[in-house]
Structures are given as C-alpha cells and as structure tokens.
C-alpha cells in the first residue's frame, strides 16, 4: 500500500489516471447542468417573489435526471458513458440519433486525466494530490462555465476558497494560514475596489462578484506576495484577447474574466516566485 503514496510509482499513476478520467466526466456534468439548475431556480424564485403563478418545481440537478442525449432525450447506457473511450467508440455521435457530441466533453476528460497523472507523478496519492486535484477540477469547471455563460457560481467559488484556506493549515503548504487569509482578503478587495471605481467612472459593471471570489481563492493559495503576478498575467491576457475579439467582431464584445484569472493564478502558483525574482534582478534590485 505504501507504493500508492510514492510519487511516480506506476500504481499511483494508474490510479491517478483512472480518477482523473472519472473526475473529468463528473466535471462535464457540472459544467452542463449547474448553470441550467441555477437558471431554473432563479426563475422559480423570481416568479414566487413577483406573486406570479408558480408551477411545480422541475427536478433538475447534478444527479437528476440521469445521463441522456439532450437532442433525442434517450438515456445514455453505462457502456456509452465510459470516460474518454466512449467518445471514440461512438465516433462523437449519439448512438440513437447520431447527433454530434461536442468535443469539449472529451477534451475536459483528457485534460483532467493528464492533470491527475501529473499530480500523481508529483505527489503520489498523498494529501497534495487530492487537494490540487480538487482545486484544478474546480478551476476547469469555473473556467468553462464562465466562458459559456459569463457566470462564476458560488457553489464552485466558495468551495475553492475554503479548500485554499484549509490547505494553508497543512505543513506541506507554501503559505501560512495568516498569509492565506491576508491573500484572500486583499485579492477580493483589489477587484472589488476596481469594480466600484470603474462603475463610478463609467456607470457600467466591468466584472462580476464571482471574479472577486475566484481571485480571493487563488490568492489564498499563492499568498498576497504573488497577487501582482496573478493580476498582471490575467489583465494582459484579457486585454490581448479582448482586442482580438473586438477586431474580429468589429465592436466591443464582453468577455469573461474568470478564465484569465484561473490561468494567471496557476502561472503565479507554479512560477510566481521565479518570475518575481527574475523581475527584481532585471531591475537590479537583487
């Protein structure tokens, strides 16, 4: 059993890969169903508050109804729901109606599998593997939901933040609990302040509250010292992509900021210290 906790052992990598594929399949369910679940819930609550006739709540969540084709509504059999493999066997088509299955489902499963194998290589199946596996899975779900719906649900941002704060209690964490708490607070307030400054100057909302919470979680993982790396990379990437999109559509188009924050946060956590050191050396301070 000890071999399972050894980084780079074949047993750890095999289990990590299988877990990654399964988690990727579940992440796909969250990406597709959570926004729809929230939309139905909001419609029900708005009708109730407005005193309008309220129909019986439709039971729709992560678990119910079971897996089915969104086009023909036929249930998906277990053998057609095997992560990674079923997509290839079915040739990216529904078995019943031959509707094309979006490739992003398969790419998410591939990505999570590779991420979990990488974490297994680094940590074995130790605590770090589980923490960062959960954190990166949440980031993937938040990134794609924000990209598709411009929405960062509290159901994902809050667990991400709490995971970061709890991880700071571990002796394996690179930040202390106080650094994580300060990072979360400063990260949240930095975007919150920018949001209100932009709104006061333009009368428009430049970002959503979900962005504040996501940056709080990212800064809790990295600590406040690496917050500038996260923000700079996110802002630069956002500006570049924003300009490209505006040129393509020949007008200003709103784009979600969450995906850029996620990428900036990962870069900051992995390479932030090296980037800051190189920057200070370039300035001749170190």
Residue 112 sits in the same domain as residue 189: no
The C-alpha atoms of residue 27 and residue 23 are separated, in whole angstroms, by 6
Task: Measure the CA–CA gap between 283 and 286, rounded to whole angstroms.
Answer: 8
Residues 1 and 77 both lie in one domain: yes
Domain check: are 121 and 176 in the same one?
no
CB 152 within 8 A of CB 211: yes
In this structure, the answer to whether residues 38 and 180 fall within a common structural domain is no
Q: 62 and 6 share a domain?
A: yes
- Global pTM reads 0.91
Instruction: Write down which residue in 71, 105, 125 finishes a domain.
Output: 125
Q: Are 24 and 118 found together in one domain?
A: yes
| Total number of residues shown for the chain | 286
Asked if residue 266 and residue 184 are part of one domain, the reply reads yes
Residue 210: partners with Cβ closer than 8 Å, 6 or more residues away: 146, 151, 152, 153, 154, 157, 258
| Alpha-carbon span 161 to 145, nearest angstrom | 17
For residues 33 and 153, the answer to whether their CB atoms sit within 8 Å is: no
Which of 70, 102, 125 terminates a domain? The answer is 125
Identify the domain containing residue 61 by its residue range: 1-125
3-state secondary structure of 75: strand
d(Cα 157, Cα 161) in Å, to the nearest integer?
6
Q: What is the pLDDT of residues 122-147, one digit of tens each?
A: 998 999 999 999 999 999 999 999 99
pLDDT digits (tens, 9 = 90+) for 192-238: 999 899 888 888 887 889 999 999 999 999 999 999 999 999 988 88
State whether 163 and 247 are in the same domain.
yes
In total, how many domains does the chain have? Answer: 2
State whether 137 and 278 are in the same domain.
yes
């Amino acid at each position: 059993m000890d071999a399972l906790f050894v980084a780079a052992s074949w047993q750890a990598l095999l289990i990590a890969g299988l877990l990654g594929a399964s988690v990727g399949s579940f992440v796909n369910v969250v990406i597709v169903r959570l926004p729809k679940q929230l939309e139905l819930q909001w419609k029900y609550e708005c009708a109730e508050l407005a005193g309008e006739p309220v129909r019986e709540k439709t039971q729709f969540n992560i678990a119910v109804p079971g897996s089915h084709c969104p086009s023909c509504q036929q249930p998906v059999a277990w053998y057609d729901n095997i992560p990674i493999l079923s997509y290839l066997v079915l040739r990216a088509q529904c078995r019943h109606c031959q509707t094309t299955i979006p490739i992003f489902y398969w790419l998410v499963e591939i990505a999570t599998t590779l991420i979990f194998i990488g974490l297994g290589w680094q940590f074995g199946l130790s605590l770090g593997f589980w923490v960062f596996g959960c954190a990166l899975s949440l980031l993937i779900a938040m990134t794609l939901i924000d990209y598709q719906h411009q929405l960062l649900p509290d159901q994902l941002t809050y667990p991400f933040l709490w995971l970061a704060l709890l991880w700071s209690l571990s002796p394996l964490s690179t930040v202390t609990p106080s650094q994580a708490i300060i990072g979360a607070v400063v990260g949240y307030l930095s975007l919150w302040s920018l949001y209100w400054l932009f709104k006061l100057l333009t009368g428009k909302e430049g970002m959503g509250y979900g962005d504040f919470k996501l940056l709080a979680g990212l800064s809790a993982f990295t600590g406040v010292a690496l917050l500038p790396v996260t923000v700079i990379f996110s802002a630069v990437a956002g500006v570049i992509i924003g300009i490209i999109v505006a040129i393509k559509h020949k007008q200003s188009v709103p784009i979600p900021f969450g995906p850029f924050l996620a990428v900036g946060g990962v870069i900051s956590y992995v390479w932030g210290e090296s980037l800051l050191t190189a920057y200070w050396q370039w300035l001749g301070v170190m």
